[in-house]
Structure 1
Amino acid sequence: MSQLSWNQILQPRKLLVWIWALCALMLFSPARIIERFGLTEIIQEISPMLGIAFFLVSAIFICETASESFSWVLNRRRRQEMKQAIDEKVTMLDHQERAILREFFIQRRSTITLPDHEPAVRALLEAHVLLRNPAPDEKETDAYKGFALHQWARPKLTSRVLQLPVGDMTEEQIRYLKQTRPAFVIKDMRMRRRRIAA
């Protein structure tokens, strides 16, 4: 058997499975099979140890299964709560929150930079509509940080929800969108233009 195969067998989880299987075979195999291999006396001598090992490993497996089941139920409940929070927030967006979310479509970017101290940004983040998506060079001290739309929120943010015009926009609609853009977004765009120009 190759070294790789031994390394695979000796992994903690697989090693426990091997121990459990061997103990089960020696404890519960029919007597005629045990006699055929000449293991009757050996098994009789070590049967207390086999029994302890079998029940100990079984208890470990039961605890692991219970823990994994609990984690699955807990994660499912968290997902349901997140989806519910997103649904509720999308139906109750205020003007500032709607304007922030429109920026993803106006700028046509999957990630935009926003000041995380803004109440509207914090509210969208807490409701899981937004999630943090930091850039590689982003620092904790940066005033503006990267944010993206949560995958569950994206299909719910329709043109109707965000009050975005469909098709060609009139001058009045363009003027309305410009007037309702958050001041901090405009400030960030101006700063980025200056950096590019420099």
Structure 2
Amino acid sequence: MKAMIYDSPFNRSSFNRALLVAFVISGLLLFIPDPMLAKLNLAGVMAHYGAAVSLIYLGILSYFAVQALSMIWQAMSERWRWNRNQDLARNKALSFDHEERALLREFFLQRRSSLILPIHQEAVQRLTQTCVLQEIESNEPLQEGQARFVIAASARPFMTSNNLRLPVSELTDDDIRYFKAARPEYIKAQLKQQWREQLKAQRRQAA
């Protein structure tokens, strides 16, 4: 059963602009001198509706104050979360085990910003829980138990050659053989599957 979607006429930006206009007008009416009110023929209006104008002014002022405090709180929360994630990633980067290090090297060896990984694999879970890996949404068809992951932005400064045991210079043949042998089995299986699919596609094109 499909959910019914209703178009809401409410627009927060337009609403805030209307409140700002009302705030400025009510503020002017409250704070301009009485002689100026008399010249503008507004003294009678303020005599009858001054209390209502004051309530409007205070109400809008309170609304904007709450919005400002909410934005400040949100910014502080995001900053705290970013610092916490960085601390977790920094501490984890100092204690990568063999499999975690080999897994993270794949992003650099395959020159990809994201990889499809098994969600329930222990190394993937550990790196996700310590904010090194981050699962992202993907519209592509994936096998059950798999998801697409990226290295989290807060962890990228700690993905150094030293932490990942990557050579600073160009990879040698010995380096390539070592990294291929050190790959986790699920990465090897995934690369074999990709190679088979590419080979099938080439054969179809040649037929």
Q: Same fold (TM over 0.5)?
A: yes
Q: Which secondary structure state, in structure 2, belongs to the residue aligned with residue 112 of structure 1?
A: strand
**What's the CA shift for 1:168?**
4.8
User: In the alignment, which residue of structure 2 is the partner of 1:173?
Assistant: 175
**What's the CA shift for 1:170?**
5.0
Aligned-partner residue type, residue 32 of structure 2: S
Aligned-partner residue type, residue 176 of structure 1: Y
User: In the alignment, which residue of structure 1 is the partner of 2:39?
Assistant: 36
* Worse-matched range after superposition: 166-175 or 85-94: 166-175
**What's the CA shift for 1:134?**
4.3
1:156 aligns with 2:154: no
Q: Distance in 2 between matches of 1:105 and 1:154?
A: 12
Name the CA shift for 1:45/1:98 in 2 (closer, same or farther; >3 Å): same
Name the CA shift for 1:66/1:169 in 2 (closer, same or farther; >3 Å): closer
1:27 aligns with 2:30: yes
Q: What percent identity do the matched residue pairs reach?
A: 27
Q: Distance in 2 between matches of 1:168 and 1:53?
A: 69
After TM superposition, the score normalised by the length of structure 2 is 0.83
User: In the alignment, which residue of structure 2 is the partner of 1:5?
Assistant: none
Aligned-partner residue type, residue 118 of structure 1: Q
Aligned-partner residue type, residue 77 of structure 1: W
Aligned-partner residue type, residue 84 of structure 1: D
Aligned length in residues: 189
Q: Given that residues 138 and 145 in structure 1 are in contact (C-alpha distance below 8 angstroms), is that contact kept between their aligned partners in structure 2?
A: no
Name the CA shift for 1:25/1:196 in 2 (closer, same or farther; >3 Å): same
Which residue of 26, 41, 49 maps to 2:52? 49
RMSD: 2.0
Q: Distance in 1 between matches of 2:137 and 2:188?
A: 20
Q: Distance in 2 between matches of 1:154 and 1:69?
A: 27
Name the CA shift for 1:149/1:35 in 2 (closer, same or farther; >3 Å): same
1:85-164 aligned at under 5 Å gives the runs: 85-139=88-142, 141-164=143-166
1:192 aligns with 2:202: no
Q: Distance in 2 between matches of 1:118 and 1:110?
A: 20
Structure 2: 5+ residue stretches without partners: 1-10, 201-207
Structure 1: 5+ residue stretches without partners: 1-7
Q: Distance in 2 between matches of 1:170 and 1:53?
A: 73
Q: Deviations over 1:41-66 (max 9, x none)?
A: 11100111111111111111111111
Q: Given that residues 82 and 154 in structure 2 are in contact (C-alpha distance below 8 angstroms), is that contact kept between their aligned partners in structure 1?
A: no
**What's the CA shift for 1:126?**
1.6
Q: Which secondary structure state, in structure 1, belongs to the residue aligned with residue 149 of structure 2?
A: strand
After TM superposition, the score normalised by the length of structure 1 is 0.87
**What's the CA shift for 1:21?**
1.0
